[in-house]
Amino acid sequence: MQIKAQISFQYETEKQAEVALLSLNPDNIGPINSCVLGDKLIYDLSGDSLNSFLATVDDLLFCEIMVEKVLELEK
């Protein structure tokens, strides 16, 4: 069974979305495609195993929360 999802994060500016993309890229190797469209960071994910898919989503969300906290410190 192939599992697919798209997750998007919206930021205040396009620059913040680009910073988030660069910050999250080292952690995202595998079946994940990402791009910045304006002030949004969009991830397309896919997987064959529900457990590993959910673990990937969990890791992505956790890391993105850390990026948000760092961006807040920048203000």
Non-local CB neighbours of 32 within 8 Å, separated by 6+ positions: 43, 44, 45, 56, 60
Nearest to 59 by CA among 51, 70, 49: 51
Q: What is the pLDDT of residue 30?
A: 64
What is the rounded CA–CA span in Å between residue 23 and residue 5? 21
What domains are there in the chain, each with its CATH number? 3-74 (3.30.310.50)
Instruction: Identify the pLDDT of residue 8.
Output: 97
Q: Please give the pLDDT value at position 19.
A: 93
pLDDT of 56: 87
Backbone angles phi, psi at 41, to 5 degrees: -110, 120
**How does pLDDT run across 13-61, given as a tens digit for each residue?**
999 999 999 998 866 566 788 999 999 999 999 989 999 899 989 999 9
CA distance 50 to 16: 31
pTM, full prediction? 0.85
